[in-house]
Amino acid sequence: MYRFIRPLLFKIDPESAHSLTISLLRMVGAVSPLRNMLRRYYRVPHKPVHAFGLEFPNPVGLAAGYDKDGIAWKGAAMLGFGHIELGTVTLRPQPGNPKPRVFRLPAERALFNRMGFPSRGAHFVADQIAGNRPHHLILGVNLGKNASTPIEAAGGDYQELMRIFAPKADYLAINVSSPNTVGLRRLQARTELNSLLSLLVVEREIISAKLDRNIPLLVKLAPDLSIAELDDALDVIIANNLDGVIATNTTIARPGVESVLAAQVGGLSGAPLHPMSVRMVEHINHAADGKLPIIGVGGVMDADDTKKMLAAGAVLVQLYTGLVYGGPGLVKSIISSL
């Protein structure tokens, strides 16, 4: 059915089309008969994965960026996802970058975006995830600093975000790799990353003691790091005893993109990103001797892409752009083939 609906959605500008799908999923999530209907239609085999001290019902998750404000996750969960990562969430509400800020590249099965963390703020999102959730679903929250927060003060944003979301989420992801917030990627450098993570690890110990449970803490990295920069980041992540890595965010490179839109500023996602992300997952897995769990994300468009990501060393995969091009049946198709 989606192959008939997609041309209609693609006649709408990308951000408006996304808002429409988010609204539909929000409605589904709020109405029990609709939830049950979708759950039955997109039911997937149970293929559990253990990672970060958690049991995921299957290895396929929804990447951060799709449901930034936590308003549609109950509906999205009915599509078969084993986990959903909300956000990126900022501490204070912010509008993000000026529109237009999302662009489709259908020939390449890709998207450009320069969203810049539009967010209704941490307290709004926290309210959306209070209460019950679908059985077995793992819920993560991706955290980012406000654009107005100086890089030198970014740690304070992340600390407060951890305090808000640690009691409500199963894991937290520290986003230091979006290309669309000025200066953010500087936090991936060895010195800056160590200063940030050492602060957040102490905060996690305090929070974990209050909650009487561990809070898995992951770092999301950019695919544009050099090998030396990536190794520096991994040294810091391992030294600070973080639980895992998410590889990768969008890229500022334009591999294989011939569209005139290649000149647009922003991050590229979708099929052209997949080889970069797989290579990075392979390197992380080798460099960490398989001891640092990896969520592989970037250009996962179908079952073959998923298998390549898992073969490279990822324990879980996430998708977003694949859902735009493949539709709601993609998750079921992938998991059924594993």
pLDDT at 1: 79
Residue 148 appears among annotated catalytic residues? no
Partners of 49 in beta bridges: 56
pLDDT at 133: 86
- The rounded distance, in Å, linking the Cα atoms of 116 and 182 is 9
Domains identified in the chain, total number:
1
Q: Which two tokens stand for residue 50?
A: 């253990």
pLDDT at 287: 97
Range of the domain at 42: 2-337
Partners of 172 in beta bridges: 141, 217
111: enclosing H helix or E strand:
strand 110-113
Q: Which of 323, 324, 272 is nearest to 61 (CA)?
A: 323
Q: What is the CATH number of the domain that holds 140?
A: 3.20.20.70
- The rounded distance, in Å, linking the Cα atoms of 157 and 70 is 19
Q: Which two tokens stand for residue 3?
A: 């192959």
pLDDT at 3: 86
pLDDT at 132: 85
pLDDT at 131: 85
| pLDDT per residue as tens, the chain (338 positions) | 788 899 999 999 999 999 999 999 999 999 999 999 999 999 999 999 999 999 999 999 999 999 999 999 999 999 999 999 999 999 999 999 999 999 999 999 999 999 999 999 999 999 999 988 888 999 999 999 999 999 999 999 999 999 999 999 999 999 999 999 999 999 999 999 999 999 999 999 999 999 999 999 999 999 999 999 999 999 999 999 999 999 999 999 999 999 888 888 999 999 999 999 999 999 999 999 998 999 999 999 999 999 999 999 999 999 999 999 999 999 999 999 99
- In degrees rounded to 5, what are phi and psi of residue 221? -110, 160
Cα dihedral sign for 141, 305, 256, 284?
Answer: positive
Q: Which residues of 223-253 are buried (b: 16+ CB within 10 A; e: fewer)?
A: bbbeeebbebbbebbeebebbbbbbbbbbee
pLDDT in tens, 65-114: 999 999 999 999 999 999 999 999 999 999 999 999 999 999 999 999 99
Is the separation of the CB atoms in 242 and 218 below 8 Å? yes
Catalytic member of 178, 333, 336, 337: 178
> Residues with Cβ < 8 Å from 309, sequence gap 6 or more?
274, 277, 278, 281, 296, 300, 317
Is the separation of the CB atoms in 335 and 44 below 8 Å? yes
CB atoms under 10 Å from CB of 166, counted, come to: 21
Q: Which of 209, 203, 201, 206 is nearest to 240 (CA)?
A: 201
Is the separation of the CB atoms in 308 and 258 below 8 Å? no
Q: Which residues of 96-112 are buried (b: 16+ CB within 10 A; e: fewer)?
A: bbeeebbbbbeebbbbb
pLDDT at 134: 85
pLDDT at 163: 98
